[in-house]
A and B are shown apart, each in its own frame.
Chain A
């Protein structure tokens, strides 16, 4: 994503989710922290902080805070702890097509978190 694209995406994320913070810890890397994003109905807790890592020329990476339970009270599979910029986050697998030119970061966040609606 270009710097212009990121600036636009930040505005949209703020409009949709409210509190958003940004950091640029290294050249070509942007971290976006969303204070609270709702999880699919039935998940516990009902919302989670989200971290987006934007790296030039790469698909964004999405992380959530740990401890999410699925609607059937189970723990998501293939969901593991990761260290990002000195903080613990959780990563998980998801599969959907992504095109940075046509899709927005809000769509990316929503599509990623839909994975937790699936009971395993």
Chain B
């Protein structure tokens, strides 16, 4: 397994275009784009989360032979004020070449050594950096809070319908030692795609009817690490729908996470399964979600979805929501069977933007009271085969995000399941502009506290 870069910079889908455009060559010189960022620390790396891109007007640049780009200090004052008010770090980006590895020039290093300590003096609790991009590589000087010296090993993650990471000097490929297992799969995903699957961490929240199918398929795909999050134990009802459960599990009331750990172990020793036997929003579940490259949510309630949506937006993680509803119509003589697979890519749309979540739905779920008033959410009809259809589509979405096996466009779409007709259709949705939830949560990172 390759070592991860010490700093990972995540660019939400809606800022990828402005950032690329901001660093494009103009009028025969380099251009810089400034990013206002939040961050969080994981065990093995720092995640930097891009909240806003700011570019300078042409008149801010000054002619300076020998420099790629030079701009006036005064032109940075508005963005520094904005960064200070919102307690955000300042990253400045520029581009060197079209593709391939890039280097920081001595000029880049000198300007970083001048500017970054000044930014840190102003906003000490956030990272600051100078970054050089090419189409597929990045190099940087990052000044982290409370750390001396600069970090240069960075990876930039561009979020979209396919998650693209900048490459390291090895070309981003991982040599798979388990020859033969994934040979047929690689015909679709390619060797680079297989490498990305082996490196990825996917969290599955809810390990019942939908989530157990998802975990099983992720293990077969050879995902590097699967995090299973569920605070419940199996019971009699689990036997009709939870993949991998046994009668003895039910007798012993084993934890669902234990059943999933065994399921994965029996499929392969090559996939690491991490059990989190707690529900979201337990702190251990929150911390585990932050580690994920993709989150698949197979939960019953809108409140749980709202929590997962907030966290995944905050840390810029694609969130695939799976939901199935089988309910009798009014006279109980007919039924409707409907379901969704919603791939909420940060910066593209969220469950609030498309009206899937609303304050009214949350209030209706608990009668306007706190979430502890839930009743009957686990008494909805569940059918293993129908859960399986939706779970399989969710895993297809994971595969697409990580390997980009299918061509994509930018249309905002979700998948709608009709269990009576046996169809899974693509629906175009219309996200609302200026979603207040996105405005608050997107790339918010960890809260930075100021002592009084």
Contacts and interface: CB of A to CB of B under 8 A. Distances in A.
Interface stretch (B343-351, B377-385, B398-406, B438-446): B438-446
Interface centre among A20, A78, A87, A88 (most CB of B within 10 A): A88
B449 A21 contact: yes
B286 interface: yes
Contact of B450 (A14, A22, A81): A22
Interface string B413-452: 0000000000000000000000000011000111111111
B107 interface: no
A23 B440 contact: no
B311 A91 contact: no
A57 to B, nearest CB: 13
B368 to A, nearest CB: 11
B450 A83 contact: no
A23 B449 CA distance: 5
Interface string B345-381: 0000000000000000000000001111100000000
A23 B370 contact: no
B452 A78 contact: no
Contact of A85 (B279, B280, B444, B450): B444
A115 B373 CA distance: 18
Contact of B370 (A26, A83, A91): A91
A87 B283 contact: yes
B67 to A, nearest CB: 37
Contacts of A22: 449-450, 452
B196 interface: no
A23 B87 contact: yes
Contacts of B445: 86
B452 A93 contact: no
A10 B452 contact: yes
Contact of A14 (B86, B440, B448, B452): B452
A77 to B, nearest CB: 8
Contact of A26 (B371, B373, B439): B439
A80 B448 contact: no
B230 interface: no
B281 interface: yes
A93 B450 contact: no
B314 A86 contact: yes
B44 interface: no
A26 B449 contact: no
Contacts of A33: 449
Nearest to B451: A21
Q: Which of A85, A86, A91 has the most CB of B within 10 A?
A: A86
Contact of A21 (B310, B314, B444, B450): B450
Given A79-B372, A80-B371, A25 B444 contact: yes
Interface string A3-35: 000000011011000011111111101010100
Given A23-B450, A83-B307, A86-B315, 19 more contacts: A21-B449, A21-B450, A21-B451, A22-B449, A23-B87, A24-B87, A25-B440, A27-B439, A78-B369, A78-B370, A78-B373, A79-B370, A81-B371, A85-B314, A86-B286, A86-B314, A88-B281, A88-B282, A91-B370
